[in-house]
A and B are shown apart, each in its own frame.
Chain A
Amino acid sequence: MASILSLSSTDQYLIIGLKLSALLVSGVVLLVFLFLLNESLPLLSQISIFQLFSDSSWHPVDGFYNLSPMLTATLLSTMGALLVATPLGISSAVFSRYYAPAFLKNGYRRLIELLAGIPSVVYGFWGLTTLAPLLATFHPPGVSLLTAILILALMILPTIALTADAAFLGVPTVYYSSAAALGLSRWRVIKDIVLPAARAGIFSGLMLAAGRAIGETMAVLMVAGNVVQFPTSAFDSVRTLTANIALEMAYAMGNHRSALFVSGLVLMMMVSVLVGLTEYFKRYKQ
């Protein structure tokens, strides 16, 4: 029965203005996609998608556009980073919430929050000047897939820890207290009651961290070695898709430049899949 005409004219203008603004904002993602597509078209109209995975190598100047070595590097470094960072991150969250004495609790979490703000270029820089030489003494050349994995793990650790912490916050305290009242030890309670209850939150935090790792450019650029090859061991130098764009964009022209935009599209698709997965699990778990 209530009609929008009853709203004062000020409010009517307000709502129109707000809606326009929101449309503009949501249009940005569409704009990004469109411009990427536009710049990719010159190449995509000339070659088939298969070439992106089956060409003999990545030599765009000569017309070879195989993205697979770099795609592999991206995937391996992300998965490796997740493997390393997940136990560390979750245990950090468990520590700060359930094991830390009162005076450390907030301080620990505050420290992790501040670490989440350190720029990737600083991590990369440190990796280049300290970690890489250290690893080089074990197995040259210090800049390799392993270095990239370790630096990435450091970078996504705060994300995992903070989202896990938020997930633990969401677990009703009554679960914890009733389990403790039943005489279960602290570790048992955490392992069997709290962690499963926080599973959904932790999972979406992992997806967030994976997205961040896939998209990371500067740090891997500085420590991964930047050789376009399939890694045969963790000590091989690799180049990720992101690092590749950053390195070659400065001088790429024509189809080469197009190819870089294509790899940008591939990256966008990968993270969109992650976002979709998170959405799907959120709704499925509900």
Chain B
Amino acid sequence: MINKVATVFIWLLAIFVIAIFIFILSDIVIQGMGHISWEYLSQPPSDAGRAGGIAPIIVSTVWIVLSAVIFSAPFGLATAILLSEFTRQENSLSHWVEKCLDLLASIPSIVFGLFGNAFFSLFLGLGFSILSGGLTLACMVLPIFIRTTTEGLRAVPDDYRYSAAALGMTRYAALIHLIIPAAMPAIIAGLMLGIGRAMAETAALIFTSGYVDRMPDSVFDSGRALSIHIYDLSMNVAGGDSKAYAAALVLIVMLLVINSLAIRLTTHWQKNRIINHEIIF
């Protein structure tokens, strides 16, 4: 009897959860759809964003995210390689690194905003700029990227490492030619996840990359990210709601595309792993 009640209850809750999310998404799609057009995507905003488009904002967002990735990817990859390939010999270092990454991952985004402001904007003198924002986001994105990449590298079978060593290849050569290519889907998935996180970020950017909504001249210029545009339109601009819906729709679509790519790559990688283990005789 209780089994049936439980089943009904669980189904209801599941439907309730899905209903809420569908409600939210459709609300945004319906209200934002009307404003999306080619002009919207290619024109600068006017009238404090109540009219016009979001072209410079998209450009700023892309530059901010790109600088975040450019700065976090090499260090993230190197750290992931250390954690997965050389952990066995250096136990205490990798333990310490992992703990630091856990702490880093838990820091709230506004605290990163404070840090970015104090360090990148003031101490390093970058001021309100795309570079400030990008560097701050790089710090935020590191733990996610490292975690996914480390897992991907660890999933490459040890047999390859032993075989490569037995053939007199250096660990470096084995990494470059064999192991990193084999783990590439996971690495890219990690990058995508990092990009998704960076694009969704608002609080860390308010005091690092700024509010200016015209087309940035360089990475040292201030730029407004899409998420900040949504915030500004809804909180600070009277009557900005309808444009905010449009911007929110654009942001969600971009994120959906990136996150689906990441998920698709991860499942593809996991499937390939299985093929690697089952050699067909």
Contacts and interface: CB of A to CB of B under 8 A. Distances in A.
Contact of A111 (B18, B113, B200, B231): B18
A211 B200 CA distance: 18
Given A211-B106, A215-B107, A271-B107, A245 B82 contact: no
Contact of A215 (B20, B81, B110, B114): B110
Given A117-B259, A186-B3, A10 B170 contact: yes
B82 A22 contact: yes
B142 A28 contact: yes
Interface in A188-213: 188, 191, 211
Contacts of A19: 82, 90, 93
A21 interface: yes
A222 B10 CA distance: 32
Interface stretch (B44-52, B155-163, B177-185, B249-257): B249-257
B67 to A, nearest CB: 16
Contacts, number: 236
A176 interface: no
B270 to A, nearest CB: 13
B13 interface: yes
Instruction: Report the interface size class on chain A.
Output: 35 or more
Interface stretch (B33-41, B117-125, B214-222, B272-280): B117-125
A52 to B, nearest CB: 17
Contact of B115 (A8, A35, A271): A35
Interface string B171-202: 11101000000000000000000001001111
A214 B259 CA distance: 25
6 contacts: A28-B104, A110-B263, A114-B259, A218-B203, A249-B117, A272-B103
**4 closest A-B pairs (Cβ-Cβ)?**
A215-B108, A119-B200, A21-B78, A26-B100
